[in-house]
Each structure stands twice: as C-alpha cells, then as structure tokens.
Chain A
Amino acid sequence: DGGITQSPKYLFRKEGQNVTLSCEQNLNHDAMYWYRQDPGQGLRLIYYSQIVNDFQKGDIAEGYSVSREKKESFPLTVTSAQKNPTAFYLCASSMFGGSTDTQYFGPGTRLTVL
C-alpha cells in the first residue's frame, strides 16, 4: 500500500514546548515538502528537501526545523520560537523535486497549542 503517511492526526502542545510531526513515504520519491495551512490562507511552504541530508527554507521557515536523514522520512519540529503554531500541517512528496512534478500529499496533522 504505497503512499505518504503523517502522524499523529491530532496533536496538542503547551506553550513553550517543542513538538515533532512525522512524515513517511514509501513512493521512492526524492523530494519532500512541509506546508502550513491556515483558514483562508491556502498553503504556505515551510521547508523542502530534494535529496537526503539537504533541505531548503520555504516562505515561512522561522520557528521550524527539519531533518532528512533517510529518503523515506522528513520530520518537522515546531519549536517554541514559532509564535502562532496552531494550524493544519501537510507533508507532500514528489518524484524529483522539479516544479513540473505532481505532489502527493499526506492526510495532515492538526496542531493545537493550548
């Protein structure tokens, strides 16, 4: 059953805590992405990675960190420096990372800061 998975589906965090969102794919895709979605704002790119051990900042990287130690995995850490972390987080992957690639999305993680 190929695809992209995210866990957990719902996550609650206290202010001042770091939290890590998981993203795994078994599509053998080179590129992976993290987006944030707020109501009425569409998707905004946080970080992306086109190859293992390399990643680039997107439009809203402040307060977030990522790693890409394995091709299949691209975890996102929301740090305490992120001032307004409550949002829906979407992970995606694509075959090569070019702008003509189709991106395949996971089901998302909804993060709520209490």
Chain B
Amino acid sequence: SQQGEEDPQALSIQEGENATMNCSYKTSINNLQWYRQNSGRGLVHLILIRSNEREKHSGRLRVTLDTSKKSSSLLITASRAADTASYFCATGANSKLTFGKGITLSVRP
C-alpha cells in the first residue's frame, strides 16, 4: 500500500525559479523523508523531518510538515538544470518506509 501521494505528478520550471512539491499521507507517521531519483538510477536521500518538527532546511532545500493536515512540502530554491529528476516522499512508521509515486521535475536551462 502506498501512503504518500505527491502533487503535482509533473512539474516543469525555468532554471533559477523555485520548485514546490507537495506530499499528503493518510495515517500517523514517525517521520517523513524526501528522496531523489535520476532516470534509471537508485534513490538518494535528501532530507528527513520528524513528526515533532515543522520545518527543516538543508542547503537549497526547505521541507515543511503539517501533521494536522497530514501533508508536507519540499521547496527547492534557485533551481538548476541538474535538479531535473523524480522526487519521492516516504513516510516512516512501524520500522518501514512507504514511498509515494513520485513527482517528475524538469528544469529548463
């Protein structure tokens, strides 16, 4: 069963613009993680936010978590062509991660 649902499914922006991706989930979680996948490759961990945290930053990444709305957002600021990839949210509970279907981000040079 897939808990996280990302929105939008696909996003196309110009280099230098900000990219905002959303994730909604249904049940209680311990944490929420964001991963990135370049085409045909494995996933790479980006950032983890715990259920008692509301916002976290890492370089050009900003993630928020609203447990009352069961939603999270990932903001990539000043996007680059190299940010082109698929992005997945993963919810952590019961010793497992459950991944969403992913968002395809295209950054045009």
Contact = CB atoms under 8 A, between A and B. Distances in A.
A107 B42 CA distance: 4
B37 to A, nearest CB: 8
B2 A42 contact: yes
Q: How large is the interface on A (under 10, 10 to 19, 20 to 34, 35 or more residues)?
A: 20 to 34
Contact of B95 (A40, A97, A105, A107): A97
A55 interface: no
B66 to A, nearest CB: 19
B94 A99 contact: yes
Contacts of B92: 98-100
A59 B1 contact: yes
Contacts of B35: 103
A42 B4 CA distance: 10
B22 to A, nearest CB: 15
B95 A99 contact: yes
Interface string A100-112: 1011111110100
A43 B99 contact: yes
Interface centre among A59, A98, A99, A103 (most CB of B within 10 A): A99
Nearest to B47: A102
Given A43-B99, A50-B95, A108 B42 contact: yes
Contacts of A35: 99
B57 interface: no
A92 to B, nearest CB: 8
B16 to A, nearest CB: 29
Given A42-B88, A59-B1, A99 B42 contact: no
23 contacts: A40-B101, A41-B2, A42-B100, A44-B2, A45-B98, A58-B96, A59-B1, A88-B40, A90-B43, A92-B42, A92-B43, A98-B95, A99-B92, A99-B93, A99-B94, A99-B95, A99-B97, A102-B45, A104-B45, A105-B42, A105-B44, A107-B42, A108-B40
Interface of A: 4, 35, 40-45, 48, 50, 58-59, 88, 90, 92, 97-100, 102-108, 110
Given A45-B96, A90-B42, A99-B93, 20 more contacts: A42-B88, A42-B99, A42-B100, A43-B43, A43-B99, A45-B98, A88-B40, A92-B42, A99-B31, A99-B92, A100-B48, A102-B45, A103-B43, A103-B45, A103-B97, A105-B42, A105-B44, A107-B41, A107-B42, A110-B40
